[in-house]
Structure 1
């Protein structure tokens, strides 16, 4: 019984840094959805960026997010990779930097458009508008 009591005290007195709690990056929101030839691409950003007090992603700023490449139709599954997402200074485009794979950054018009992501699967992807999920988008 003494050993159990000592173990309980040790657990309760552990430093706060030893406890892993989810931060706001755990709440991701899809901000861009694109469709290519048999593939889907999406970009997710933390809710803290999407619903920031200044009205979303600030002009000229970069945020860490995630990019998905859904190759399910090609029987290859769905990947999730970290990316850097930058809003242009004029707020007319968003750049997605797939830095972990060394691909050139992809520039996407805020209003949507056709872009090239990955040269193997993402050529001619048609993207919807950035921040379309934000209820105040366009207001």
Structure 2
């Protein structure tokens, strides 16, 4: 009985200690929305990791990074999920390519200044995309 009480006291002590900083996510896990689009009123967004966005030169020419793509289908009761994608900056820095590799869709090439593109042919055709935001923290101000 005494061993059980000591064990219970040890568990209570462990649970009462706050999580250490090492168990919390670091800054590399933060994402920044870099592009917004709209296809027939359905919002589409592309997110990239904060360290890439705020690096000295932003995305380098030819660089590919992992990010996330959202297609918000909440208005038709299908929800809004985060889909992992690969985002590549073109060698001339005039286009980004969003590769929805988990779904086997063809990569979508989007002008950095924005334009109309096709993502998913079921819900995201003729998506009007705004500019791929510069790494300037004052972009748009």
State the TM-score bracket (shorter-chain normalisation).
0.7 to 0.9
TM-score, scaled to structure 1: 0.81
Q: CA deviation at 1:8?
A: 6.6
Dislocated runs of 4+, deviation >6 Å: 6-9
Partner of 1:111 in structure 2?
A: 113
The reply to whether residue 72 of structure 1 matches residue 100 of structure 2 is no
* Equivalent residues, number: 130
Paired with 2:77 and 2:68, the residues of 1 have a C-alpha distance of 21
Cα pair distance change 1:78/1:5, threshold 3 Å: closer
RMSD: 2.5
Looking at CA atoms only, which structure, 1 or 2, has the larger radius of gyration?
2
Contact 1:67/1:82 (8 A) holds in 2: yes
Partner of 1:33 in structure 2?
A: 36
TM-score, scaled to structure 2: 0.80
**Residues 1-139 of structure 1 aligned to structure 2 (within 5 Å):** 3=7, 4=9, 20-53=23-56, 55-131=57-133, 134-135=136-137
Moved more, 63-72 or 20-29: 20-29
